[in-house]
Amino acid sequence: MNAYQPDEKRYDKMQYRRCGKSGIKLPLISLGLWHNFGDKDDFENARNILRTAFSNGITHFDLANNYGPPYGSAEKNFGKIFKEDFRAYRDELIISTKAGWDMWPGPYGNFGSRKYLIASLDQSLQRMGLDYVDIFYHHRPDPETPLEETMGALDQIVRQGKALYVGISQYNAEDTARAAKILKEQRTPFLIHQPRYNMMDRWVEDGLLDTLEKIGIGSIVFSPLEQGILTSKYLHGIPEDSRAATEGSYLDKSQITDEVVKQVQELNKIAESRGQSLAQMAVAWLLKDERVTTVLVGVSKVSQLEDNIAAIKNTEFSQDELQKIDEILK
């Protein structure tokens, strides 16, 4: 394959938003490697997705220790592509990874202990061929490990030079405030929170977004398309080649009810009236709120990525549009 040369006008194609009260700006669209970058996936397709992302001004690539399958393979494959295509552009990139879910057997390969988090990041850096990541997240709350230990591990990771900033994912508003207090006392650069958020799943509106604004940290929201429900894919039920039709998928066919199909059809009418695809409108709907720093998208095709990027052209909504969307999703 020819040596990769990114588009020289890439930064003219993307918009950037400041991440909380930090010095970091993130692209309105970030690329997640949760799916489609594992060993079972097409390597060249993954490479083309990453190349297209950066050539369109997407500077943030988001991974986790257990992305694949198998676990670790997304980081390993990213490391191969990074070495050949992106090493010269390392200082233009924000690369993040996480730990908090099941990763290896035994009592030390899960949740939020100091031992797990530090060991996991060491493994991640080795797989990716990096000296450091820009952001290291605790991937989910741990109900048994003291928050002081988990945040202390994040502090140690920064002091060791293995991460520039830290973040958390899926913490509620109260625990986020507690984590921020601990990290502030340690003078650890707490940059960002990664919650699940979309038109159909709005739990963050019940206090979390207000808390993030008050603390002064950013947010990167994942699952913006509700695992594909908020796309044109399910306008007429469940296609045979869809995620919902695949056994063992994160999206179960029981979630695609007649009521959901009807909601999607009505939402699609609004999107069409805006000159957008349903996926574009779903992304734009999130970006209408300045407290959302960036939307994390996962794609299996370059065309899907390009469709998502085009959402930033129109993120304004009329009150009538917002009211109609709320009525549909009641």
CA atoms within a 13 Å half-sphere pointing along the CA-CB vector of 303: 1
Q: What 3-state class would DSSP assign to 94? A: strand
Each domain of the chain, given as residue ranges in start order, spans: 10-225+288-313
Who contacts 263 (Cβ-Cβ below 8 Å, separation ≥6)?
328, 329
Q: Tell me the pLDDT tens digit for each residue of 284-317.
A: 999 999 999 999 999 999 999 999 999 999 999 9
In this structure, the number of other CB atoms found within 10 A of the CB of residue 105 comes to 8
Take residue 80 and report the two structure tokens written for it: 């191969």
Q: By the 8 A CB rule, do 128 and 90 touch?
A: no
Kindly indicate the confidence band of residue 234, based on its pLDDT and cuts at 50, 70 and 90: confident
Q: Tell me the pLDDT tens digit for each residue of 157-180.
A: 999 999 999 999 999 999 999 999
Question: In this predicted structure, what is the pLDDT of residue 239?
Answer: 60
Question: In this predicted structure, what is the pLDDT of residue 245?
Answer: 45
Answering whether pTM is above 0.75, one says yes
φ/ψ (deg, to 5) at 99: -150, 145
Q: How far, in Å, CA of 278 to CA of 134, rounded?
A: 32
Q: 15-24, 36-45, 236-245: lowest mean pLDDT where?
A: 236-245
Question: May I ask the CATH class of domain 10-225+288-313?
Answer: alpha beta
What's the whole-number average pLDDT of the chain?
95
